[in-house]
Amino acid sequence: MNDNRSAIRVGLIGYGFAGKTFHAPLIAAAPDLALVAVASSKPDAVRADLPSVEIFADPVALAASGSVDLIVVASPNDTHAPLAAAALKAGAHVVVDKPFTLTLDEARDLAALAEAEGKLLSVFHNRRYDTDFLGIRNVIESGVLGRIVHFETHFDRFRPAVRDRWRERAVPGGGLWFDLGPHLIDQTLQLLGLPERVTATIATQREGGQAADYAHVILDYGTARAILHGSMLVAGGVNRFTVHGEKGSVVKRHLDPQEPQLLSGMRPGLPGWGKDDDQMILYDGEREQTLPVPAGDQSRYYRDVARAIRGEGANPVTPHQALAVMAVLEAAVESSDTGRTVALPLTDKEKSAWL
């Protein structure tokens, strides 16, 4: 950080899996940010990891405290909209963990509120900074595949036992589609743009499951199709990305390593951080070759947020981009519930803002 200016003070709401594993260490890796306060129902856990921060029992009290410049909302999904709104009204910039909100209308309201308050509002789509996504993006943008006709992205896990946690309960915003779906959607939209229609099957497959643990979603791009797939019952045997074009195909086998690195205690900047040895395989119909992937670094998201707050760069994930993710998320639920293909529920103005 420049010694001539003070750090942007950050308050983190929520110190569960997302707050502890992702947000706190990634914020700490951004030189212009200083995590100074945490709102959590687990003060002992916060104090053990972050002994110097101020701890709030009430997230609304943190939002209204005036002691921070940026509030990060990493609490359960059904609290995202009200807590983000409280923070914006209190004069803070806001980052919201995915999913942005529970509904498209809530997302629209938050975007309008941020604009009215003149504050930065961003959504934590950290997977834009993953090795697998960066590598596939480079291949697509190089033109070596030609016109894309089939794009397939998987975010699968093998967790046959249902866990007792809110993400796997029958609560608003619970289930795999609201947990992993936003990652799949955002990356696909970044590469292919807005689809015309959405067809989806969302289901619960595990014995004793309370929330959706399977999602198979098809995005219609006219002559191209994108398949977004997530399941809790995949032990292996699938690719992270499979892309076919008129001139060739590319496959990326495994997922970016940063989540397991963070869980192991590794931090951004340490040797090996974000390094992925799982190379892509490129096929041109006659031969195959391996291609390296760029190193990933999810802490770049927070460095980009800091620059945007200081007026030195663009918001890394704008509310309009997040609205589009919510539109696909919501359309897939409607498609699965009704058994019909659903048009993307965005206005012409919202679609034009995407361009």
Residue 89: predicted pLDDT? 96
CA distance 216 to 229: 5
Residue 4: predicted pLDDT? 56
The pLDDT of 71-79, averaged and rounded, is 96
Q: How far is CA 186 from CA 14, 113, 320, 328, in A?
A: 23, 22, 12, 9
pLDDT digits (tens, 9 = 90+) for 236-246: 999 999 999 99
Q: State both tokens at 251.
A: 């496959």
The pLDDT of 330-345, averaged and rounded, is 98
pLDDT at 167 over 90: no
The pLDDT of 209-225, averaged and rounded, is 97
Domains of the chain with bracketed CATH: 8-124 (3.40.50.720), 127-297+329-343 (3.30.360.10)
pTM of the full predicted structure? 0.96
The three-class DSSP label of residue 45 is: helix
pLDDT digits (tens, 9 = 90+) for 5-16: 799 999 999 999
CA distance 213 to 233: 8
Residue 125: predicted pLDDT? 98
Report the chain's mean pLDDT, rounded to a whole number.
96
pLDDT-based confidence at residue 1 (cuts at 50, 70, 90):
very low
Contact indicator for 156, 230 with CB cutoff of 8 Å: yes
The pLDDT of 77-91, averaged and rounded, is 96
**Candidate from 13-27, 158-172, 219-233 with smallest mean pLDDT:** 158-172
Q: State both tokens at 149.
A: 């006709």
The residues, any chain, with a CB within 8 Å of residue 144's CB and separated by 6 or more, are: 247, 248, 282, 284
Contact indicator for 127, 187 with CB cutoff of 8 Å: yes
Q: What is the amino acid identity at position 132?
A: D
CA distance 18 to 182: 14
Residue 216: predicted pLDDT? 98
pLDDT-based confidence at residue 355 (cuts at 50, 70, 90):
low
Contact indicator for 213, 233 with CB cutoff of 8 Å: yes
pLDDT digits (tens, 9 = 90+) for 108-123: 999 999 999 999 999 9
pLDDT digits (tens, 9 = 90+) for 170-194: 888 999 999 999 999 999 999 999 9
